[in-house]
């Protein structure tokens, strides 16, 4: 297929891009997914906590209501059962517990939170236990995000979607049918439909078309420890300090054995740095260390600091977790999407699809087409790794576009 005849181009191979590509390919649209060159340090979906959010963390957020049900629906559509072991939320004041309960009521999860005794908390939290706190079991748990992405990509390919590694920019072009072109690997394309799922790269693509937008990008620091034995719950969220700990057990499937520890503090990124720079500032590292329990056994060789970027929507001047889908009038067929949370990606993918008409193009891919090896010339071969692979943190690999 020549560049001018492409039906749908999806920019970005994070969770959202893969879900959109899979859905479109199943609808027999001819899809090309443009993914940034590997390794893919900018994919938040490969660097986050993979935490099936219940929404209980976000009392003021209207989207909190849907995080859990949307997340479960996403798992179900890929044949994954809901997680059986819940995580623990910790509070240090009765006032915090009251806010938590009121919110749990509002989002209809009250029946799914259960107070646990101090003894049980001590046993389950290991070195992360803190005396004098209130502990609650919650439905939040890690989910197999990398495996789900792998499956979405495999299905998309089986239905004929093609993947290409290249960095993408957009340009206004009055000669093009829709008023813009997609520039990918030196090639200019004028697709009928372009869906941008570029995560933290989204503001840059919008800017290239002079489109005003409410997105902000910030960076959170994570500490990844190659030992998940120091805690016996899959997840701990300390609501007072903002500390979060997610444990992937080696004996789970897929095998995992890592603690990913994060802190609430975030750094806003200036526009020009928003999609690449991931250096950790000493102050951020020090802040995260200050939240860690003194008994945590962390040898230098089995730990590393990393970071993840987050795209939020400004509402009344405040960054807010919210799905954002935008189809600018001046560019027909162009849709931008960011889910705000991985948990919301499936629902956002559906919303994006509802923006696009569904004609099956003559010459579009048939089901099953492309189910073997990728066609010659397709550069995609990078596997979607388990999260927080050390190679994503290499400054050398980070530079290559
Ligand atoms: C520290 C942290 C922890 C988080 N934890 C959770 C959690 O536990 N649970 C949860 O539900 N959510 C969590 N989130 C949010 C969640 O990770 C994101 O909302 C979600 O991953 C976004 O998916 P995406 O596909 O939109 O973006 P991404 O996964 O970032 O994918 C975008 C892709 O587009 C590519 N790209 C960007 N620009 C270009 C370009 N110009 N050309 C080509 N490719 C490009 C990027 O390389 C990337 O691969 C967390 C976020 C952070 C920062």
Distance CA 156, CA 16 (A): 13
* pLDDT score recorded for residue 376: 42
Q: Compute the distance from residue 348 Cα to the ligand 1 centre, in Å.
A: 13
Question: What would the mean pLDDT of 135-148 be, rounded to a whole number?
Answer: 93
Residue with the larger pLDDT of the pair 91 and 396: 91
CA of 49 to the centre of ligand 1 (A): 11
For the cut 90, the answer to whether the pLDDT of residue 195 exceeds it is yes
Compute the distance between CA of residue 341 and CA of residue 44 in angstroms, rounded to an integer.
10
d(CA 377, CA 387): 28
Q: Ligand 1 center to residue 309 CA distance, Å? A: 7
pLDDT bucket at 54, cuts 50 / 70 / 90: very high
Q: Which range (45-59, 266-280, 336-350) has the least confidence? A: 266-280
pLDDT of 233 strictly over 60: yes
**Count of CB atoms within 10 A of residue 269's CB?**
20
**Rounded distance from Cα 200 to ligand 1 centre (Å):** 7
- For the residues 58-87, what does the mean pLDDT come to? 94
| Distance of CA 336 from the midpoint of ligand 1 (Å) | 14
* pLDDT score recorded for residue 387: 55
Instruction: Report the alpha-carbon distance of residue 90 to residue 270 in Å, rounded.
Output: 33
Q: How far is CA 232 from CA 92, 225, 245, 249, in A?
A: 21, 15, 11, 9
What is the predicted pLDDT for the residue at 3?
46
| Atom number in ligand 1 closest to CA 168 | 42
Average pLDDT, stretch 26-40? 81
Site to substitute for ligand 1 among 198, 343, 344, most atoms within 8 A of C-beta: 198
Q: How far does the centroid of ligand 1 lie from the alpha carbon of residue 369, in Å?
A: 29
Average pLDDT value for residue range 184-206: 93
pLDDT band at 332 (very low <50, low <70, confident <90, very high): very high
Nearest atom, ligand 1, residue 51 CA: 8
Closest CA to 189 of 61, 79, 334: 334
Cβ pair 258, 289 in contact under 8 A: no
**For tokens 């989204």, what's the residue?**
202
Q: Tell me: pLDDT of 341 over 60.
A: yes
Q: Which of 172-181, 348-357, 366-375 has the highest mean pLDDT?
A: 172-181
Q: What is the pLDDT of residue 367?
A: 33
Query: Average pLDDT of 164-183?
Result: 94
Q: Which residue has the tokens 């995609």?
A: 380
The dihedral formed by the CA atoms of 67, 68, 74 and 79, expressed in degrees to the nearest 10: 170
| Torsion over CA: 18, 19, 21, 22 (sign) | positive
Tell me the per-residue pLDDT of 87-115, one tens digit each, with 9 for 90 and over. 999 999 999 999 999 999 999 999 999 99
Better pLDDT: 397 or 36: 36
Whether 202 shows a pLDDT value over 90: the answer reads yes
Is residue 215 within 8 Å of 222, Cβ to Cβ? no
Q: Which one is predicted more confidently, 378 or 251?
A: 251
Q: What is residue 386's predicted lDDT score, i.e. its pLDDT?
A: 55
Ligand 1 center from residue 310 Cα (angstroms):
7
Q: Which of 10, 14, 63, 387 to mutate for ligand 1's pocket (most ligand atoms within 8 Å of CB)? A: 14
- Residue among 321, 329, 33 nearest 198 (CA): 33
Tell me the average pLDDT across 364-376: 37
Are the C-beta atoms of residues 285 and 305 closer than 8 Å to each other? yes
Task: Give the per-residue pLDDT at 320.
Answer: 92
- Do the bridges between strand 87-91 and strand 235-238 make them parallel or antiparallel, or are there none, so unpaired? parallel
Burial 67-86 (b: 16+ CB within 10 A, else e): bbbbbbebbeebeeeebeeb
Locate the ligand 1 atom nearest the alpha carbon of residue 221 and give its number: 1
| Atom of ligand 1 at shortest range from CA of 42 | 47
> In this model, does residue 186 exceed pLDDT 60?
yes
**278-322 pLDDT per residue, tens:** 677 888 889 999 999 998 988 777 888 888 888 999 988 898 999
Highest mean pLDDT among 3-7, 182-186, 304-308: 182-186
**Which of 48-62, 92-106, 272-286, 357-371 has the lowest average pLDDT?**
357-371
As for ligand 1, residues whose beta carbon falls within 6 Å of it are 11-17, 34-36, 40, 42-45, 48-51, 53, 167-168, 197-201, 205, 220, 222, 262, 275, 308-310, 338-343, 345
| Cα 399 to ligand 1 centre (Å) | 18
pLDDT value of residue 16: 96
d(CA 123, CA 345): 35
* Cα–Cα distance for residue pair 237/135, rounded to 1 Å: 10
CA dihedral 373, 374, 380, 382 (to 10 degrees): -20
Confidence of residue 65 (pLDDT cuts 50, 70, 90): very high
Ligand 1: which atom is nearest the Cα of residue 166? 43
230-241 in b/e form (b: 16+ CB < 10 A) is: bbebbbbbbbee
Atom of ligand 1 nearest to the CA of 17: 25
Q: Any idea what DSSP says for residue 117?
A: -
The answer to which of 30-44, 190-204, 225-239, 375-389 has the lowest mean pLDDT is 375-389
């Amino acid at each position: 297929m020549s560049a001018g005849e492409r039906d749908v181009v999806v920019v970005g191979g994070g969770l959202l891009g893969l879900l959109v590509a899979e859905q479109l390919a199943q609808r027999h649209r001819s899809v090309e997914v443009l993914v940034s060159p590997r390794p893919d340090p900018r994919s938040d979906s490969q660097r986050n906590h993979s935490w099936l959010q219940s929404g209980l963390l976000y009392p003021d957020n209207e989207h909190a209501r849907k995080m859990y049900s949307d997340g479960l629906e996403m798992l179900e559509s890929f044949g994954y059962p809901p997680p059986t072991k819940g995580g623990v939320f910790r509070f240090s004041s009765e006032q915090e517990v009251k806010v938590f309960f009121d919110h749990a009521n509002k989002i209809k999860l009250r029946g799914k939170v259960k107070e646990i005794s101090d003894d049980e908390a001590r046993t389950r939290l290991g070195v992360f236990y803190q005396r004098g706190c209130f502990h609650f079991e919650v439905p939040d748990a890690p989910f197999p995000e990398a495996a789900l992405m792998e499956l979405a990509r495999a299905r998309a390919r089986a239905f004929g979607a093609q993947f290409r590694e290249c960095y993408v920019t957009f340009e206004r072009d009055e000669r093009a049918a829709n008023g813009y072109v997609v520039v990918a690997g030196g090639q200019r394309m004028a697709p009928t439909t372009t869906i941008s799922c570029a995560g933290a790269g989204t503001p840059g693509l919008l800017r290239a078309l002079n489109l005003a937008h409410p997105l902000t990008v910030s960076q959170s620091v994570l500490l990844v420890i190659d030992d998940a034995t120091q805690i016996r719950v899959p997840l701990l969220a300390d609501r007072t300090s903002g500390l979060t700990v997610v444990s992937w057990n080696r004996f789970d499937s897929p095998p995992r054995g890592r603690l990913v520890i994060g802190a609430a503090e975030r750094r806003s990124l200036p526009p020009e740095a928003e999609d690449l720079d991931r250096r950790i500032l000493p102050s951020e590292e020090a802040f995260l260390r200050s939240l860690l329990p003194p008994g945590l056994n962390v040898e230098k060789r089995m730990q590393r600091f990393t970071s993840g970027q987050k795209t939020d929507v400004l509402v009344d001047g405040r960054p807010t977790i919210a799905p954002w889908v935008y189809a600018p009038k001046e560019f027909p067929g162009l849709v931008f999407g960011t889910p705000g949370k991985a948990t919301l990606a499936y629902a956002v993918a559906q919303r994006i699809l509802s923006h696009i008409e569904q004609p099956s193009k003559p010459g579009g891919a048939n089901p099953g087409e492309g189910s073997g090896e990728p066609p010659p010339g397709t550069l995609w071969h990078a596997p979607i790794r388990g999260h927080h692979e050390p190679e994503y943190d290499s400054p050398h690999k980070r530079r290559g576009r």
